[in-house]
Structure 1
């Protein structure tokens, strides 16, 4: 099934409202911003992470303008030496390519083994934006509905209070 269609059908089945914007390929959030300027919704960064031994995978949703402090993530979650997940593992676990990682990749997690985290700061925003598993569209969903989507898929999630990484 076409990736964006899969996302739309899942949201409709869950009775979750969304707004979708079609646009040319956007490899970065900066590129996507050119096509969605003026539309309400925080721009998200969804990071696919693993522990050192690649025995656990994590999906972290945070504000795109924020940088992750990996040491703090480790302290808050107990993840052993977290790092960005490799492209092959990303595809294996979420069926996604680099540059289009989003919460909607959970639709493809057959083993249901990815741990989900949200930065607390992003949850105060009314709406969030993501790529719907393809980088020629941007989808906007109310923040409460994003959390409901995760629950509807049978995932638990944790909310982390992440501080800005000051090293950059």
Structure 2
């Protein structure tokens, strides 16, 4: 499992600045938003999706205020029917669990078989927020630094319009 400390260690190794806000456990995006109200940064949603046969995997990063149009994403990704990935598959592919999945978990996906997609609109935001391995913390970092992290671990990503 990706731990908060391993994420922080990796960011510090890469000299990527970040800010952490500690808060009570957030079980929904609404709760998480309330704990960080007034702080600059787009609230993200990280969705781990898989095909019906569980032979293709996707991590979609988008603004948490948007709803994912699964049909549109399926067409953009040129993939068959999709569903949310079950907890055991999230653990296997990302070393994470539902509710705290984030792009930092891709460091655990050594096969790089999880395709990463960003909604173009979210990348226009200067600051991104995620739960870094646990739901009692929210991490804030610049969008450029998030992409720097992905480049440092050689993880490819695609930008799409959702």
Pairwise TM-score range, normalised by the shorter structure: over 0.9
Partner of 2:123: 123
Partner of 2:68: 68
Offset from partner CA, 1:79-129 (integer Å, 9 cap, x none): 211211111101111111111111111122232221100000101111010
Partner of 2:50: 50
- Once residues 2 and 120 of structure 2 are traced to their aligned partners in structure 1, the CA distance between those partners, rounded to angstroms, is 32
Point out the more displaced range, 129-138 or 148-157.
Answer: 148-157
Indicate how the Cα distance of structure 1 residues 89 and 20 shifts in structure 2: closer, same or farther if over 3 A, else same. Answer: same
2:79 matched to 1:79? yes
- Once residues 89 and 73 of structure 2 are traced to their aligned partners in structure 1, the CA distance between those partners, rounded to angstroms, is 20
Partner of 1:103: 103
TM-score (normalised: structure 1): 0.92
Offset from partner CA, 1:25-61 (integer Å, 9 cap, x none): 1111111112111110000000000122111111110
Give the aligned CA root-mean-square deviation in angstroms.
1.3
- Once residues 79 and 51 of structure 1 are traced to their aligned partners in structure 2, the CA distance between those partners, rounded to angstroms, is 8
Report the CA distance between 1:15 and its aligned residue.
1.4
4+ residue runs of structure 1 moved beyond 3 angstroms?
Answer: none
- Once residues 25 and 111 of structure 2 are traced to their aligned partners in structure 1, the CA distance between those partners, rounded to angstroms, is 30
- Once residues 78 and 149 of structure 1 are traced to their aligned partners in structure 2, the CA distance between those partners, rounded to angstroms, is 27
User: For this pair of structures, how many residues does the alignment match?
Assistant: 162
Gaps of 5+ in 1: 163-168
- Once residues 115 and 64 of structure 2 are traced to their aligned partners in structure 1, the CA distance between those partners, rounded to angstroms, is 20
Partner of 2:142: 142
Point out the more displaced range, 81-90 or 59-68.
Answer: 81-90
TM-score (normalised: structure 2): 0.95
- Once residues 33 and 12 of structure 1 are traced to their aligned partners in structure 2, the CA distance between those partners, rounded to angstroms, is 26
